[in-house]
């Protein structure tokens, strides 16, 4: 005898509204479908038995249509009626593919990720470029001090858990030599704010600029360089970033990206924003266009000071030759890649008939390299 359910009662959820509706259901193998009607006898839907699926909600069977975009649900009122439906619908227990709700969540999730990527890599950089030129120099200097303090805290935190108080190297003879180098390069050039150029006591081979006209050279850079002109080339490059306000653009871009991520990941203190900006400035991940502009600025500055342009390239060439591929501690090279093309551009600026000056005397060069000595 063919199993049937005749005029069984059930609760129906149409997937469009929050309320449930009392309905009557009729189903048989001969019919090949489950009919859903109102208690007054009006047909609501017919669900093919082959597409009928179920899941358990406690002691209740919940029926739904595979692939139903409205996600309608049906729950028989009596357990015996649910068991009879299970006998009729052969495919009831087949594993259903991803339901519409899951698919919608997947689409929404993909859209959210795409929006996040668009925000971080397109919209925020564009806004940062526009805002950087609008920020007053005084405010930019305060932002730079905050970013530099974050970098200092990260790099001077000792292994014993106490902060190392020795950060800026202030040996008088070395400071005087650094001032001579800076003044030789800058000459009568104007910047939007007072420059602050310092050497810090850290072995990292690096140099970077922070917002507000602050340029940092690290002890490791001075120890790696063979001539003061090589250091002058690096300093001129960073001054190019300062002149173009690249550090402010970078800090805004990093802070904006970190701010978006802090909203997504949760960061009530805002520490992620400051840390993100500090890390980006330290690593100096400027765009290719910004790096190229800073290179041109540096070569123009060295030419104006009658310093050898080739020194701009030899330092990076030697680092790559001595250390191979750029990894680990060579942050300067990884942040400012010394490609063959960049070196070639520098050497193209060399005047074979010119007699270039030295930026420092031998004694001044030794004083500068010993700027972090007690």
Q: Which of 120-129, 216-225, 241-250 has the highest mean pLDDT?
A: 216-225
pLDDT band at residue 221, thresholds of 50, 70 and 90?
very high
In whole angstroms, give the CA distance from residue 104 to residue 307. Answer: 63
Mean pLDDT of 193-203: 92
Does residue 267 register a pLDDT over 70? no
Any idea which of 80-89, 202-211, 283-292 has the lowest mean pLDDT?
283-292
pLDDT value for 200: 94
pLDDT band at residue 342, thresholds of 50, 70 and 90?
confident
In whole angstroms, give the CA distance from residue 69 to residue 49. Answer: 17
Question: Contact, 25 vs 34, CB < 8 A?
Answer: yes
Q: Where are the domains of the chain?
A: 4-97, 113-369
Mean pLDDT of 116-131: 58
In whole angstroms, give the CA distance from residue 233 to residue 359. Answer: 10
Burial of 42 (C-beta count, 10 Å sphere; 0-12/13-18/19+): exposed
pLDDT value for 45: 85
In whole angstroms, give the CA distance from residue 43 to residue 25. Answer: 10
Does residue 272 register a pLDDT over 90? no
- What is the reported pTM? 0.61
pLDDT band at residue 325, thresholds of 50, 70 and 90?
very low
pLDDT band at residue 260, thresholds of 50, 70 and 90?
very low
pLDDT band at residue 133, thresholds of 50, 70 and 90?
low
Does residue 226 register a pLDDT over 80? yes
Residue-wise burial string across 314-346, b where 16 or more C-beta atoms lie within 10 A, e elsewhere? bbbeebbeeeeebeeebbbbbbbebeeebbebb
pLDDT value for 129: 62
Any idea which of 15-24, 204-213, 318-327 has the lowest mean pLDDT?
318-327
Residue-by-residue DSSP string for 210-263: ETTTEEEEEHHHHHH-SSHHHHHHHHHHHHHHHHTTHHHHHHHHHHHHHHHHHH
Does residue 261 register a pLDDT over 50? no
**Cα four-point dihedral sign 311, 316, 318, 321:** negative
Class of domain 4-97: mainly beta
pLDDT value for 268: 39
CA nearest 363: which of 175, 232, 177?
177
Does residue 192 register a pLDDT over 60? yes
Mean pLDDT of 293-311: 92
- If one compares 328 and 88, the residue with the highest pLDDT of the two is 88
In whole angstroms, give the CA distance from residue 214 to residue 1. Answer: 91
The rounded Cα 7 to chain-centroid distance in angstroms is 61
SS (H, E, C) 327-342: CCCCHHHHHCCCCHHH
């Amino acid at each position: 005898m063919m199993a049937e359910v005749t005029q069984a009662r059930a609760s129906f959820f149409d997937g469009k509204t929050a309320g449930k509706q009392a309905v009557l259901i009729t189903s048989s193998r001969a019919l090949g479908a489950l009919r859903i009607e109102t208690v007054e006898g009006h047909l609501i839907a017919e669900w093919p038995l082959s597409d009928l699926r179920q899941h358990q909600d406690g002691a209740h069977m919940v029926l739904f249509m595979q692939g139903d975009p409205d996600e309608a649900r049906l729950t028989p009122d009596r357990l015996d009626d649910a068991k009879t439906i299970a006998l009729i619908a052969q495919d009831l227990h087949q594993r259903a593919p991803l339901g519409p709700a899951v698919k919608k969540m997947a689409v929404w999730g993909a859209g959210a990720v795409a929006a996040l990527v668009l925000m971080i890599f397109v919209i925020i950089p564009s806004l940062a470029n526009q805002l950087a030129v609008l920020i007053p120099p005084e405010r930019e200097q305060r932002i730079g001090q905050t970013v530099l303090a974050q970098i200092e805290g990260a790099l001077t935190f000792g292994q014993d858990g106490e902060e190392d108080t020795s950060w800026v190297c202030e040996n008088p003879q070395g400071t005087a030599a650094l001032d001579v180098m800076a003044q030789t390069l800058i000459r009568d050039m104007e910047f939007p704010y007072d420059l602050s150029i310092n050497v810090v006591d850290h072995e990292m081979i690096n140099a970077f600029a922070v917002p507000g006209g602050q340029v940092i050279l690290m002890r490791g850079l001075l120890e790696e360089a063979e001539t003061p002109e090589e250091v002058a080339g690096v300093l001129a490059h960073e001054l190019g970033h300062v002149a173009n306000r690249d550090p402010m653009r970078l800090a805004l871009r990093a802070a904006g990206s970190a701010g978006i991520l802090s909203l997504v990941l949760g960061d009530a203190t805002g520490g992620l924003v400051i840390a993100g900006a500090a890390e980006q400035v330290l690593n100096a991940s400027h765009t290719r266009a910004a790096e190229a502009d800073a290179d041109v600025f540096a070569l123009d500055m060295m030419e104006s000071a009658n310093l050898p342009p080739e020194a701009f390239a030899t330092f990076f060439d030697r680092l790559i030759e001595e250390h191979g591929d750029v990894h680990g501690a060579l942050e300067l090279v990884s942040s400012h890649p010394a490609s063959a093309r960049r070196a070639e551009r520098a050497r193209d600026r060399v005047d074979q008939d010119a007699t270039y000056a030295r930026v420092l005397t031998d004694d001044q060069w030794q004083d500068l390299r010993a700027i972090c000595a007690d």
